[in-house]
Amino acid sequence: MKNRYKILVLFAVTALFGGVIGFGFDVLEKYPEYDIFLQALSGIIGVALGYYFTVALNPVRTKNDLTFTAFSSLVISGTIVAVRKFVQFFIDFYTGSNLLHCEMVEDEHWLYRVFGFGMSPEAQRPLLDTDEDFAISILFSLLSTGVLYLYMRLKNKALFVREAVKEKFTFRSIPCRIKERISLEIEKVRNDCSIWDILLWWCTRAVMVYAFIVMENRAEATLLLANLVGTFAITLVHFILPKNSVLTKVSYKAQSLITIIVFLGSWCGNFVGVYYITPRFDLFLHLISGYLCVMGGYYVALTLFKPENKRKALLISVFALCFSFFIMPFWEVSEFIGDFIWGTSNQGFYWGPTDDSFFFKVFGHGVGNTKLYYLFDTFYDMLLAVVSTVGTFIVLCAGLVSGFKRNKNSGAAELQEEKVPVHS
């Protein structure tokens, strides 16, 4: 009951600073910097809402519960950010308003003052406010999650009390420890993955190295190399962090999901040029990314607890859903940074929809707000990811819940069978 009142207070605070002060008193119009404060506030409030939702379904009783609550609060905050931007986009589309502040940004903007102009294309400027909002909200979501985690640790000190184990450290023991760690990770790979996963990893890495060597455009080659490093993300996490860390328990299956995205997007899309041969390939990539991100979130959730009951099954499914939603703005910000530094057009801001565009066939033409054309590709990509994300979430949630019911029914049947008297 207390959490319900706290959630209502958070909504009231949001309405006060955003609606009443921002729009009612025209503070946003007079002081554009006020929008930065609103984005920071939305990140903080999003984490608080995520925290109250998570503990309502799964109170903190163990260290795993505590860590999961922090992660869940973060991804729920990211989901709120993405959904809010979708709402603003469609309001602008149908009413002709400019809630997304899609406009040409002047040279004195703080981004240019701090980082210079890079190779930022002129057409990228109308996207600046949207990506700035994404970045600020995510940044304050991360900071708030860190504060929340520390708060929960202080509140639940008993969970972290353990006897100190003194290990004598010598430089001679380093090779033995490295060998032990490598053996441990090899065993994890064998338990988590099949031979097909391993073949996928190394075949993709081999063709990525070849592409990096032969590419003439070194800026694109550098970006491809960064994606190649991404295929080692889970391995690096497992080796760099302490072996008792939560993130070192993430299944190596997640590395296969990352490798698929890198292979399709970086190698097939950019190096082979499928993006240019078949423009709809980008739509397919964003459609499949929703599925891959939901499954990635599912593997992360399983490192912390199992779907032992219907409530936990639901919570794991919601976490996987929100994990994918969190990746959407995070991915768009990374594309924006790449375009800013290398002068590319990963966000597709040069794309202007035509009358036969699939987007217009589904949603109509709105009021013809041409300023939004710069943002169409960004939100169209995110919309496709939303479709596959929601579809995967429904299938995953139904599978987990029905699986729990089957186990419960079979367990009840076995118990009843044991109680049946046997007559000789």
pLDDT in tens, 309-351: 888 888 999 999 999 999 988 888 888 888 888 777 777 776 6
Residue 416, CB-side half-sphere exposure with 13 Å CA sphere: 6
- Of 113-127, 241-255, 297-311, 318-332, the range with the highest mean pLDDT is 318-332
- Of 69-78, 178-187, 276-285, 406-415, the range with the highest mean pLDDT is 69-78
165 CB neighbour count, 10 Å cutoff? 5
pLDDT tens digits, 257-291: 999 988 998 889 888 888 778 877 888 888 999 99
Nearest to 158 by CA among 66, 91, 95, 242: 66
Answer yes or no: is pLDDT of 18 > 80.
Answer: no
Using pLDDT thresholds of 50, 70 and 90, give the confidence band for residue 362. Answer: confident
- DSSP designation for 250: S
How would DSSP label each residue in 274-299? HHHH-TTHHHHHHHHHHHHHHHHHHH
- DSSP designation for 264: I
- Give buried/exposed letters for 227-251 (b at 16+ CB in 10 A, else e): bbebbeebeeebeeeeeeebebbbb
Nearest to 317 by CA among 391, 397, 388: 397
Quick check: 343 and 119 in contact, CB under 8 A? Answer: yes
Ranking 2-6, 90-94, 103-107, 306-310 by mean pLDDT, the lowest is 2-6
219 vs 58, 341, 398, CA distance in Å? 47, 9, 45
The amino acid that residue 140 corresponds to is: F
pLDDT tens digits, 153-190: 999 888 877 655 555 656 666 788 788 888 888 898 99
**CA pair distance 380, 355, nearest whole angstrom:** 15
- Predicted local distance difference test score (pLDDT) of residue 412: 45
For the entire predicted model, the pTM comes to 0.85
Domain boundaries, the chain: 32-104+117-158+193-351+358-415
Q: Which two tokens stand for residue 366?
A: 């709105």
**CA pair distance 318, 162, nearest whole angstrom:** 32
The amino acid that residue 250 corresponds to is: V
- Predicted local distance difference test score (pLDDT) of residue 417: 44
